[in-house]
Structure 1
Amino acid sequence: MNKKQFVIMLSGFVGPLSGNAVLALLPTLSEVFHVSATTILISIPVFMLPFAAIQIFSGALSDINRRGAFFFGFSSYSIGAIICAFSTNFELFLSGRFVQGIGFAFVNPVITAILGDIVPTKSRGSAMGVLGASTTAGIALGPLVAGTVAIIDWRLAFFIFASLGIVVIVLFSISFAGFEFKGSFALKDVGKKLLETAKNRNVEYLMLCGFITFFSYIGAISFISAELSSLGFTDASIGVIISSAGIAGIISSPIAGRIADFLGRRAAAVIGYSIVAITLFILSISDRNIFELDIVLFFILGIGTAHIWSSLLTLSVEVIPEMRGTSTSLFNSARFFGYASAPLFLSPIFEKFGMSTVALVASLSAIFSGLVVVFLVRESKTEKNK
């Protein structure tokens, strides 16, 4: 991995690190802002909804100016984290989360597109596997970081997120100094190119799979956090359980990427969906009051999602090679709408039927997404032959 690839992987980790860090801070933030733990969960979709929505356009804009999109994105992300750190009420905290979501919406499509630009086809699956694992690790390790530093002060977590955003900007400036990013079309053509890309069947199916995958994954970790909190688990314990998925992703990502390169993108995705579906089903029938079992199940869940993202991310930059930023923006927008939607749509199910039903719904969703990959998604013949 060269320094350019390292900066892209680090960027993929830092953005979502803050996304669900609040999962390990539920008891603390609930006490500080005088609201329920369920209400605190609203801060996840407040971060993710603008993140998902703005990506519809930000990816296309990144096809015009990748460097500008990157700098604007992480600058906004860091400012939002600082607002959260200085929040004196829940409304101000939510506004900071909203600004963070807007910022990272400009980063996520461009880092995927850049990786597709600088990595050859034969090893692109491996590279995308690491990027997918970086994103998953950020999602999973965020609660561990937040839960650990909360022992000192919860605000410190957001100061750390802001600092990391600034560090990434500096590293990007150094690593890509003199590197020429070529725009694929003019600003006036953004709308036209978006519509053309959105009508591509492969892009549509990938968007559906991305949405369902994150919907299932975030549904599982969001409500297991709420349940464990009600069972008396500490912030640190919850953080350890959830972060085990990210650790598994980091460990298994090189293997997942190589499988995607060797067996093909779709085959690797099916392996991942099978692992995720089975693990979520076991979670639905297991005793979640057993700390060690929870860690094992989330570790396996992380292995499955690493296989899925390595495949889908690679497909997203290959289906329309000349429009990488636009196609990845639509794919990422859809998958993070799934991220943002999970707490909203699954909350009524959790409150009425409990965590077992949420896990079962997530398992069935993973099975459906796997079937979409098998029967509908097609790999690019042009990219295969490169």
Structure 2
Amino acid sequence: MRRIFKYIVVYFCAFTGPLAGNAILSMLKELQLSYNVQLDDVLLSIPTFMFPFAIFQLFSGTISERWSRRTLIFVGLLIYGLSSIGIALADDFFLFLLMRIGQGVGYAFVGPVTVAVLGDIADRSKYGILMGFYGSAVTAGLSIGPLIGGYTAMYDWRIAFWIFGLISFLAAILVLAVIPRIDQVEKRSNERMVENIREVVRNRNLSLISLIGALAFFAMIGNLSFLSDSLRYAPFDYSSSEVGLLLTVAGLVGIFVSPIAGAFIDRFSTRLSTMIGLSIAAPMIALLALSDDYFVFMALLAAIGAAGTFIWAGLLTISIEELPALRGTSSSVFNSSRFSGYAIAPTLLAPVYAAFNFDGIAISCMVIAIAALILSRCLSGKACFHRRAIISKD
């Protein structure tokens, strides 16, 4: 029972960080009016959150191999929470962006370290299902954030960031109360952080899943970013709360699908799980451009959410199994890479949106998802195949 509480706290931390990342998508119009800026300016708040997150987490997992994972998570949540309150108080757009950077830095010390904590406290035979739930928690945060943002934006968008700050402080308290201080058994392997990162990067599978993760997030988040804006204007004219609800559906579906994805991985393979997810996501992304009905949008986003659960469950499991002695570093490199795809998507796709509207976005993101699918076929080794047989031998 005590282990279950530890899992719940880890998942709550995984859920907390992404809340603010996607909340921006359901309040784009309100932020433009509040700060008197253009859409491109508001979309900068996504990379200003994600780039620091991607860069700093490259080292946070490695640092956690040498010092307390619990302490790093606690400090990261405090920084994230204080930055969220800072955004709620910011009356200047530059200060708003500066606080977004603070959020990204704070969560960089939470995301990859919580993955490593799961590896520390879990039985290997349960890695698949536990990573399925973890991916679901992250997706839920990415999806429920816009719901909170959309509904609070009807009154005052700043309320959302007060909520995110308070949730972060609650998570920090729970970490100290529930997560034990673990003496890392891998410490003897971590005399030099740079060497750890090099060892991970030289690993073929870890390099592949890092690239696949970046492409998958680029396709999925790039698609959602501009779909959110498109739906606020003619011919749809959906409200901020209606858009927020649509974006939330994907995360809620992921919560229910995650046990299936995890059980699938534990019975079959991580590679197959990833390929199935990408095979579903690619056509669903393209079909969004053809939809003109609210509930069709909802169904397609639900399918993309379910697909994402299979993708992330597979890739996350590989990230902690490929090099068990360096799972903190492996998790950092993988997460840094995949969230880099998240960060650059809005900026790189903005010219496509300006020239070809959402149709161009849907086609581009579908092609990126297909590229990720092709790369996933190149995964090999025991961390990617025949899960049940490997676990029984070990």
Q: Kindly state the Cα deviation for residue 120 of structure 1 after the two structures are TM-superposed.
A: 1.4
Which residue pairs with 1:302 in the alignment?
305
Paired with 2:28 and 2:377, the residues of 1 have a C-alpha distance of 39
**Contact 1:63–1:185 (CA under 8 A) maintained in structure 2:** no
Paired residues for 1:7-18 under 5 Å: 7-18=9-20
Comparing 130-139 with 32-41, which one deviates more in the overlay? 32-41
Which residue pairs with 2:252 in the alignment?
247
Matched, 1:5 2:7: yes
- Aligned residue pairs, count: 384
Q: 2:295 aligns with which of 282, 288, 292?
A: 292
Q: Kindly state the Cα deviation for residue 188 of structure 1 after the two structures are TM-superposed.
A: 4.7
Q: 1:185 to 1:47 in 2, by over 3 A?
A: farther
**Contact 2:186–2:325 (CA under 8 A) maintained in structure 1:** no
The DSSP-based 3-state class of the residue aligned with 1:348 is: helix
Instruction: Write the letter of the residue equivalent to 1:255.
Output: I
Comparing 195-204 with 208-217, which one deviates more in the overlay? 195-204
Matched, 1:107 2:110: yes
Which residue pairs with 1:33 in the alignment?
35
Post-superposition CA distance 1:328-368 (Å, at most 9, x none):
10000000000001101111111111211211121121122
TM-score by length of 2: 0.94
**Contact 1:62–1:109 (CA under 8 A) maintained in structure 2:** no
Q: Kindly state the Cα deviation for residue 318 of structure 1 after the two structures are TM-superposed.
A: 0.4
Q: Kindly state the Cα deviation for residue 248 of structure 1 after the two structures are TM-superposed.
A: 1.1
Instruction: Write the letter of the residue equivalent to 1:32.
Output: S
Comparing 45-54 with 58-67, which one deviates more in the overlay? 58-67
The DSSP-based 3-state class of the residue aligned with 1:20 is: helix
Q: 1:295 to 1:351 in 2, by over 3 A?
A: same
**Contact 1:55–1:105 (CA under 8 A) maintained in structure 2:** yes
Q: 2:266 aligns with which of 261, 268, 281?
A: 261
Q: Kindly state the Cα deviation for residue 68 of structure 1 after the two structures are TM-superposed.
A: 2.3
Which residue pairs with 2:192 in the alignment?
189
Runs of at least 5 residues in structure 1 that lack an aligned partner in the other structure = none
Paired with 1:88 and 1:291, the residues of 2 have a C-alpha distance of 34
Post-superposition CA distance 1:100-128 (Å, at most 9, x none):
00000111110001111211121110000
Paired residues for 1:90-169 under 5 Å: 90-169=93-172
Post-superposition CA distance 1:104-158 (Å, at most 9, x none):
0111110001111211121110000000011011111100011112233211111
Which residue pairs with 1:173 in the alignment?
176
Runs of at least 5 residues in structure 2 that lack an aligned partner in the other structure = none
Q: 1:43 aligns with which of 36, 42, 45?
A: 45
Paired with 2:98 and 2:382, the residues of 1 have a C-alpha distance of 41
Q: 1:234 aligns with which of 228, 233, 239?
A: 239
**Contact 2:270–2:315 (CA under 8 A) maintained in structure 1:** yes
The DSSP-based 3-state class of the residue aligned with 1:375 is: coil
**Contact 1:265–1:379 (CA under 8 A) maintained in structure 2:** no
Paired with 1:195 and 1:179, the residues of 2 have a C-alpha distance of 25
Paired with 2:61 and 2:218, the residues of 1 have a C-alpha distance of 21
The DSSP-based 3-state class of the residue aligned with 1:354 is: helix
Paired with 1:21 and 1:377, the residues of 2 have a C-alpha distance of 37
**Contact 1:64–1:182 (CA under 8 A) maintained in structure 2:** no
Paired with 1:187 and 1:369, the residues of 2 have a C-alpha distance of 32
Instruction: Write the letter of the residue equivalent to 1:117.
Output: D
